[in-house]
Amino acid sequence: MFLRKISYLLIFILFAQVLNAQNKKSENENKDDRKLITGVSFDFGYQIPGGDMADRFGNNYNIGGTFWFKAKNNIVLGLQGYYLFSNNLKKEAYSILDNLKDQNGNIVDQFGNYSPVLLSERGYYFGIKVGKVFILERKNITSGILTTVSGGFLEHHILIENELNNIPQIMGDYTKGYDKLVNGFALQEFIGYMFIGKRLLTNFVIGFEFTQAFTQSRRSYDFNLRRYDDKKRIDLLYGIRISWLIPFYKKEASGFYIY
């Protein structure tokens, strides 16, 4: 459902820009105008966890988007959000339901039968970023090395799915006692390359991203620990991020529109 909504949003934005371009009249553009860029991007990331997060989860994927603004002095501002997910869990995550399992490692449902339970990672991040593009060539005044820092909010938890919905201990609000929901303030650094070309498919950002989040449990009681989890956590994420960028120009560049 989330992926479908993102896809519909991107299609709508692209379609709106095509219609807008057809209705615009041709006009000349000063070369300096192209330094001022606003746009949106569709982002994809692959991350490796570190710190306390590595005890619970393996590598994850994430998808999201960023609203970009690049000023004429190459200062960049951005509003970013992404959804992270993975089926790669570690031993600590798989142990959350140990107190519900029998000696063979199975969970019995309300009818006395073994019932399957699926566990996976879910979470999200949103934040505000600021940075700068360091231009490498005078011929291309919109592309170069991009560095940013970001402050935001990271949350993650273990998604517990009982397909038959027949295990009372993990139905409804009882799930909250097992899902290890944590969140907190996060810092993020990025270094990579921003390229703004003359065609839609050639506009991109790619680089390395490092996230440090200072999180703690947001559940009042942890059934697995049989107490409130008061641990202060440092969750780390290292990864590669690729963004397909759709810039919006107010004027034409060299006789054609760029999107």
Taking 50 as the threshold, does the pLDDT of residue 253 lie above it?
no
Residue 253 belongs to some domain of the structure: no
Mean pLDDT of 99-108: 88
d(CA 86, CA 134): 34
**Residue-level pLDDT at 34:** 52
Taking 50 as the threshold, does the pLDDT of residue 16 lie above it?
no
With pLDDT > 90 as the criterion, what percentage of the chain qualifies?
61
Taking 80 as the threshold, does the pLDDT of residue 26 lie above it?
no
Mean pLDDT of 98-112: 88
Mean pLDDT of 224-238: 95
- Please tell me the pTM assigned to this model: 0.81
* Banded pLDDT at 200 (limits 50, 70, 90): low
Mean pLDDT of 69-95: 94
Taking 90 as the threshold, does the pLDDT of residue 181 lie above it?
yes
**Residue-level pLDDT at 210:** 98
Sequence letter at residue 187: L
* Banded pLDDT at 35 (limits 50, 70, 90): low
Work out the number of other CB atoms within 10 angstroms of the CB of residue 140. Answer: 13
Residue 257 belongs to some domain of the structure: no
Domain housing 17: 2-248
The helix/strand count (H/E) of the chain reads as 2, 8
First to last CA, the chain: 27
Residue 35 belongs to some domain of the structure: yes
**Residue-level pLDDT at 256:** 37
Taking 70 as the threshold, does the pLDDT of residue 197 lie above it?
yes
Per-residue pLDDT tens digits for 118-140: 999 999 999 999 999 998 877 77
Taking 50 as the threshold, does the pLDDT of residue 252 lie above it?
no
Residue 254 belongs to some domain of the structure: no
Work out the number of other CB atoms within 10 angstroms of the CB of residue 76. Answer: 19
Mean pLDDT of 50-67: 97
- Residue 53 corresponds to which tokens in the numbers above? 């997060």
* Banded pLDDT at 32 (limits 50, 70, 90): very low
User: How many C-alpha atoms does 17 have within 13 Å on its Cβ side?
Assistant: 17
Cα dist from 226 to 93, 144, 191, 223, whole Å? 16, 53, 43, 5
3-state SS class at 179: coil
Query: Higher-confidence residue: 42 or 198?
Result: 42
Residue 92 belongs to some domain of the structure: yes
d(CA 259, CA 244): 11
d(CA 175, CA 167): 10
Residue 259 belongs to some domain of the structure: no
Q: What is the CATH number of the domain that holds 126?
A: 2.40.160.20
Residue 77 belongs to some domain of the structure: yes
* Banded pLDDT at 250 (limits 50, 70, 90): low
Taking 90 as the threshold, does the pLDDT of residue 145 lie above it?
yes
Mean pLDDT of 60-64: 98
Residue 184 belongs to some domain of the structure: yes
Mean pLDDT for the chain?
A: 84
Q: How many distinct structural domains can be found in the chain?
A: 1
- Residue 255 corresponds to which tokens in the numbers above? 């006789």
